[in-house]
Amino acid sequence: MDTASADSAQSAYALGAVTVASSPQERFSEYLQSKGKRITQQRRILVDHVFERHDHFDADELIANLSRSQQECEEGRKVSRPTVYRTLNELVEAGLLRRMTLSGRSVYEHDYGYPQHDHLHCTKCDKLIEFQSEELKQLRQAVANEHGFRVTGHRLIVSGICEPCGRNRHRGKSPLDLI
Protein backbone atom coordinates (compact mmCIF):
# COMPACT_ATOMS: atom_id res chain seq x y z
CA MET A 1 0.00 0.00 0.00
CA ASP A 2 1.16 3.51 -0.64
CA THR A 3 1.91 6.02 2.05
CA ALA A 4 1.24 9.71 1.70
CA SER A 5 3.05 11.23 -1.26
CA ALA A 6 6.04 13.49 -0.80
CA ASP A 7 4.12 16.59 -1.85
CA SER A 8 1.39 15.96 0.74
CA ALA A 9 4.14 15.84 3.39
CA GLN A 10 4.55 19.54 2.68
CA SER A 11 0.87 20.24 3.41
CA ALA A 12 -0.71 21.80 6.47
CA TYR A 13 -2.00 18.33 7.38
CA ALA A 14 1.45 16.64 7.42
CA LEU A 15 2.47 14.51 10.39
CA GLY A 16 4.92 15.79 12.97
CA ALA A 17 7.68 13.84 14.70
CA VAL A 18 7.44 11.93 17.99
CA THR A 19 10.39 11.23 20.29
CA VAL A 20 10.50 7.86 22.05
CA ALA A 21 12.60 6.66 24.99
CA SER A 22 13.36 3.16 23.72
CA SER A 23 13.64 1.38 20.37
CA PRO A 24 10.86 -0.84 19.05
CA GLN A 25 13.13 -3.86 19.76
CA GLU A 26 13.59 -2.79 23.40
CA ARG A 27 9.90 -2.04 23.86
CA PHE A 28 8.86 -5.39 22.32
CA SER A 29 11.41 -7.27 24.42
CA GLU A 30 10.02 -5.64 27.60
CA TYR A 31 6.47 -6.56 26.54
CA LEU A 32 7.42 -10.20 25.87
CA GLN A 33 9.25 -10.46 29.21
CA SER A 34 6.16 -9.14 31.01
CA LYS A 35 4.19 -12.00 29.38
CA GLY A 36 6.81 -14.63 30.26
CA LYS A 37 7.89 -15.00 26.61
CA ARG A 38 11.32 -14.68 25.09
CA ILE A 39 12.52 -12.64 22.14
CA THR A 40 13.50 -15.14 19.43
CA GLN A 41 15.69 -14.49 16.40
CA GLN A 42 12.59 -14.68 14.16
CA ARG A 43 10.79 -12.05 16.26
CA ARG A 44 13.87 -9.79 16.08
CA ILE A 45 13.98 -10.16 12.30
CA LEU A 46 10.28 -9.26 12.06
CA VAL A 47 10.55 -6.18 14.30
CA ASP A 48 13.61 -4.93 12.40
CA HIS A 49 11.90 -5.50 9.06
CA VAL A 50 8.62 -3.84 10.08
CA PHE A 51 10.30 -0.77 11.60
CA GLU A 52 13.01 -0.12 9.01
CA ARG A 53 10.55 2.09 7.10
CA HIS A 54 7.01 3.36 7.57
CA ASP A 55 4.37 1.90 5.34
CA HIS A 56 0.97 0.26 5.56
CA PHE A 57 0.97 -3.49 4.97
CA ASP A 58 -1.01 -6.67 5.46
CA ALA A 59 0.37 -10.02 6.61
CA ASP A 60 0.68 -11.37 3.06
CA GLU A 61 2.67 -8.32 1.92
CA LEU A 62 4.95 -8.67 4.95
CA ILE A 63 5.51 -12.37 4.24
CA ALA A 64 6.30 -11.63 0.57
CA ASN A 65 8.74 -8.85 1.52
CA LEU A 66 10.40 -11.08 4.11
CA SER A 67 10.76 -13.89 1.58
CA ARG A 68 12.51 -11.56 -0.87
CA SER A 69 14.87 -10.19 1.78
CA GLN A 70 15.53 -13.62 3.30
CA GLN A 71 16.62 -15.19 0.02
CA GLU A 72 20.07 -13.78 0.82
CA CYS A 73 19.95 -14.98 4.45
CA GLU A 74 20.94 -18.41 5.69
CA GLU A 75 18.17 -21.02 6.00
CA GLY A 76 18.05 -20.95 9.82
CA ARG A 77 16.86 -17.33 9.86
CA LYS A 78 13.66 -17.81 7.84
CA VAL A 79 10.44 -16.67 9.49
CA SER A 80 7.41 -18.95 9.15
CA ARG A 81 3.88 -17.78 8.27
CA PRO A 82 2.47 -18.75 11.72
CA THR A 83 5.29 -16.79 13.41
CA VAL A 84 4.43 -13.73 11.29
CA TYR A 85 0.74 -13.84 12.27
CA ARG A 86 1.48 -14.52 15.94
CA THR A 87 4.11 -11.76 16.10
CA LEU A 88 1.85 -9.23 14.37
CA ASN A 89 -0.78 -9.86 17.07
CA GLU A 90 1.86 -9.45 19.78
CA LEU A 91 3.12 -6.22 18.21
CA VAL A 92 -0.45 -4.85 18.27
CA GLU A 93 -0.92 -5.95 21.91
CA ALA A 94 2.43 -4.34 22.81
CA GLY A 95 1.28 -1.01 21.34
CA LEU A 96 3.90 -1.03 18.59
CA LEU A 97 1.54 -1.54 15.64
CA ARG A 98 -2.02 -0.46 14.92
CA ARG A 99 -4.40 -2.77 13.04
CA MET A 100 -7.10 -1.38 10.75
CA THR A 101 -9.67 -3.32 8.75
CA LEU A 102 -9.87 -2.07 5.16
CA SER A 103 -11.82 -3.82 2.42
CA GLY A 104 -12.21 -6.88 4.65
CA ARG A 105 -8.51 -7.36 5.44
CA SER A 106 -6.25 -6.41 8.34
CA VAL A 107 -3.76 -3.66 7.52
CA TYR A 108 -0.98 -2.65 9.92
CA GLU A 109 0.99 0.53 10.53
CA HIS A 110 3.36 1.85 13.18
CA ASP A 111 1.74 3.07 16.36
CA TYR A 112 4.78 3.40 18.63
CA GLY A 113 6.85 6.50 17.91
CA TYR A 114 4.33 7.77 15.39
CA PRO A 115 1.96 10.70 15.95
CA GLN A 116 -1.82 10.40 16.28
CA HIS A 117 -3.21 10.75 12.77
CA ASP A 118 -6.09 9.85 10.51
CA HIS A 119 -6.44 8.39 7.03
CA LEU A 120 -8.08 8.91 3.66
CA HIS A 121 -8.67 5.48 2.08
CA CYS A 122 -9.25 5.03 -1.65
CA THR A 123 -11.68 2.15 -2.02
CA LYS A 124 -10.61 1.63 -5.63
CA CYS A 125 -6.78 1.29 -5.36
CA ASP A 126 -6.49 0.87 -1.53
CA LYS A 127 -4.15 3.87 -1.24
CA LEU A 128 -3.93 5.33 2.27
CA ILE A 129 -3.13 8.99 2.80
CA GLU A 130 -2.17 10.03 6.33
CA PHE A 131 -3.05 13.42 7.75
CA GLN A 132 -3.34 15.37 10.99
CA SER A 133 -5.88 18.09 11.57
CA GLU A 134 -5.88 20.49 14.48
CA GLU A 135 -9.47 21.42 13.59
CA LEU A 136 -10.52 17.78 13.91
CA LYS A 137 -8.86 17.52 17.34
CA GLN A 138 -10.63 20.69 18.48
CA LEU A 139 -14.00 19.37 17.26
CA ARG A 140 -13.36 16.03 18.97
CA GLN A 141 -12.52 17.81 22.23
CA ALA A 142 -15.55 20.11 22.03
CA VAL A 143 -17.91 17.15 21.53
CA ALA A 144 -16.20 15.24 24.36
CA ASN A 145 -16.46 18.25 26.71
CA GLU A 146 -20.16 18.60 25.93
CA HIS A 147 -20.70 15.02 27.05
CA GLY A 148 -18.26 14.98 29.98
CA PHE A 149 -16.11 12.50 28.09
CA ARG A 150 -12.35 12.07 28.57
CA VAL A 151 -10.68 11.42 25.19
CA THR A 152 -7.84 8.89 25.09
CA GLY A 153 -7.53 8.81 21.30
CA HIS A 154 -9.50 8.34 18.14
CA ARG A 155 -9.34 6.60 14.80
CA LEU A 156 -10.82 8.09 11.64
CA ILE A 157 -10.72 6.54 8.20
CA VAL A 158 -12.44 8.56 5.48
CA SER A 159 -13.34 6.32 2.53
CA GLY A 160 -13.64 7.56 -1.02
CA ILE A 161 -11.87 7.74 -4.36
CA CYS A 162 -8.43 9.32 -4.76
CA GLU A 163 -7.76 11.84 -7.50
CA PRO A 164 -5.96 9.46 -9.91
CA CYS A 165 -8.71 6.83 -9.60
CA GLY A 166 -11.34 9.54 -10.04
CA ARG A 167 -9.69 10.66 -13.28
CA ASN A 168 -9.51 7.07 -14.58
CA ARG A 169 -13.15 6.51 -13.73
CA HIS A 170 -14.39 8.85 -16.48
CA ARG A 171 -14.15 7.16 -19.83
CA GLY A 172 -13.71 8.91 -23.13
CA LYS A 173 -16.44 9.25 -25.71
CA SER A 174 -17.42 6.07 -27.50
CA PRO A 175 -19.07 5.67 -30.91
CA LEU A 176 -21.99 4.15 -29.02
CA ASP A 177 -22.58 7.51 -27.35
CA LEU A 178 -23.73 8.88 -30.73
CA ILE A 179 -26.66 6.45 -30.97
Residue ranges of the annotated binding site are 118, 122, 125, 154, 162, 165
To 5 degrees, how large is the angle CA 63–CA 97–CA 138?
140
What is the pLDDT at residue 7?
A: 42
Residue ranges of the annotated binding site for Zn(2+) are 122, 125, 162, 165
> Domain locations in the chain?
1-17+116-179, 18-114
The answer to whether 1-17+116-179 and 18-114 have equal CATH topology is no
DSSP secondary-structure letter at 79?
-
Sign of CA dihedral 121, 127, 132, 135: negative
| Confidence check: pLDDT of 76 > 70 | no
pTM: 0.75
Residue type, 161: I
Average predicted confidence (pLDDT) for the chain: 84
What is the pLDDT at residue 78?
A: 78
- Looking at CATH, the fold of the domain delimited by 18-114 is given as Arc Repressor Mutant, subunit A (1.10.10)
Query: Which pLDDT band holds residue 2 (cuts at 50, 70, 90)?
Result: very low
Tens-digit pLDDT profile for residues 22-47: 899 999 999 999 999 999 999 999 99
- Looking at CATH, the fold of the domain delimited by 1-17+116-179 is given as Dna Ligase; domain 1 (3.30.1490)
